[in-house]
Structure 1
Amino acid sequence: MQDFKKLLVWQKSFDFVSAIYQHTAMYPSEEKYALISQTRRAVISISNNIAEGCGRFTQNDLVHFLQMSLGSANEVENCLLIANSLKYLSDENMNELNDRNTEIRKMMLSLIDKIRKGN
């Protein structure tokens, strides 16, 4: 068990939530229960799963929850692509958010690899 707040990947994913909330607030109101909700739930799930994995007692459990976080990060990317294709999100904003998401995914993959090599 470890303190998830000390993990840089959790810190970045936690900060990413605010960025996603700011951008989705600009989507049309009819997307409130669709794309806005789905994107926000997915981005929250990234940091939530990291935190939950850190509360488990085995490294294998932590890896499992990091993999779930990766799935949520992929879901966020898909939501961003949809928003961009619908013109809710500019290419510039899409690229900036996707770059942050990619950085988080790379950090998770690196952490997973490190944990697996330690076992």
Structure 2
Amino acid sequence: MLINSAKDLKVYKAAYELAMEIFEFSKAWPFEEKYSLTDQIRRSSRSVCSNLREAWAKRRYEAHFISKLTDVDGENSETDTWLNFARDCGYLSIADHDRLTERCRSVGKMLGSMLKNPGPFILKS
């Protein structure tokens, strides 16, 4: 498959679906969490996708690409942390938490693979 955009990447699609599922769950969370947990988890999960698009735009330069991918990985890890808070505050069931964190872990593995072997993604002169 020819990849013309970051949106064509399997990791992007998985991260986007995860962010949307988190958004749906977070709609039911208490109003008092609006400016803390809800905003933070929505921001970090969406940042995985937006930073991945930025990394893709910087793939002419391997160091820039890797640097931005590192940011993506950090946002994914932050999302995982917020999922733990959501579970421990009683906003996510253990089953939903486990499923979402497994999806987060899967995104992290794909990002780790890209970080270890960025060559196929770098634009050749």
Q: 3-state DSSP class of the match of 1:87? A: coil
More helix by share: 1
RMSD: 1.7
Alpha-carbon distance in structure 1 between the residues aligned to 2:53 and 2:120? 21
Aligned position for 1:18: 20
Specify which of 77, 81, 97 is matched with residue 80 of structure 2: 77
Stretches of structure 2 lacking an aligned partner (at least 5 in a row) = none
* 1:32 paired residue number: 34
Partner of 1:62: 65
- The sequence identity of aligned pairs, in percent, is 25
**Alignment partner, residue 48 of structure 2:** 46
Other-structure match for 1:94: 97
Amino acid at match of 2:65: L
The CA distance in 2 between the partners of 1:40 and 1:118, in whole Å, is 27
Shift of residue 95, structure 1, vs aligned partner: 0.3
Distance 2:116 2:65 in 1: 12
Distance 1:109 1:7 in 2: 14
Q: How many residues align?
A: 118
- Matched letter for residue 45 of structure 1: S
For residues 16 and 118 of structure 1, what CA distance do their matches in structure 2 show? Answer: 23
1:107 maps to: 110
How far is 1:65 from its partner?
Answer: 1.0
State the one-letter code of the partner of 1:73.
Answer: N
Partner Cα separation in structure 2 for residue 16 and residue 31 of structure 1: 20
